[in-house]
Amino acid sequence: MFKKQLLFSILFLTSFPVFSQEVKYPYYYQVVNNGDKTVDFVFGLYPATIHYTEGKDFPPYTSVRTAIFNKSSKDTLKWRDFKLDILLKSGKLISNYVPFSKTAPYGCNYAVAADSTAYQLYCFHTRFTREEIDKVWLLMSEDEIFSLTYDKNE
């Protein structure tokens, strides 16, 4: 009886194609480079990683993971406390703050080696979800502001 059930189960399971369901999450990104490619990187923000944290030893905050891919094959990219502004669908504009931690993943000043990726968590005093995001900007200086493009990743 057991052999019959096993054989039936195997035939039943193999009669249906197996589909691998890779989950794809939307993201925001921007390619930043200058004419001679001494600055050449991709910045990405991943709304699926938004996380709200409360604790008794620190004020509550919302964090979101970002990635910086240095596309240069020879030059190190110096990352220096660059800011993120997020416009929520409610019309509220929020900016990240610099956390006390100086080390990854919260640290804001570091080098990204040529042809490599660094990850950072940006922190905000405002609680929000990925569905509330309308637009995102990377602010590298007063005159270097980059609007990130939304990609559904379908």
Within a domain: 8: no
Residue range 84-106, pLDDT digits in tens = 999 999 999 999 998 777 777 87
- Answer whether residue 73 is part of any domain: yes
Which residues pair with residue 93 across a beta bridge?
Answer: 87
Answer for the pair 130, 47: CB distance below 8 angstroms, yes or no: yes
Task: Say if 14 falls within a structural domain.
Answer: no
pLDDT in tens, 105-154: 878 889 999 999 999 999 999 999 999 999 999 999 999 999 999 999 98
Would residue 119 count as lying in a domain? yes
The confidence score (pLDDT) of residue 2 equals 40
Q: Which of 58, 138, 66 is nearest to 105 (CA)?
A: 66
Q: Which domain holds residue 116?
A: 22-151
How many domains, the chain?
Answer: 1
Give domain status of residue 9, yes or no. no
Asked if residue 81 belongs to a domain, the reply is yes
Q: Which DSSP symbol is given to 76?
A: P
Q: Read off the CATH number of the domain in which 110 is found.
A: 2.60.40.1240
Q: Please, which pLDDT band fits residue 21 given cuts at 50, 70 and 90? A: low
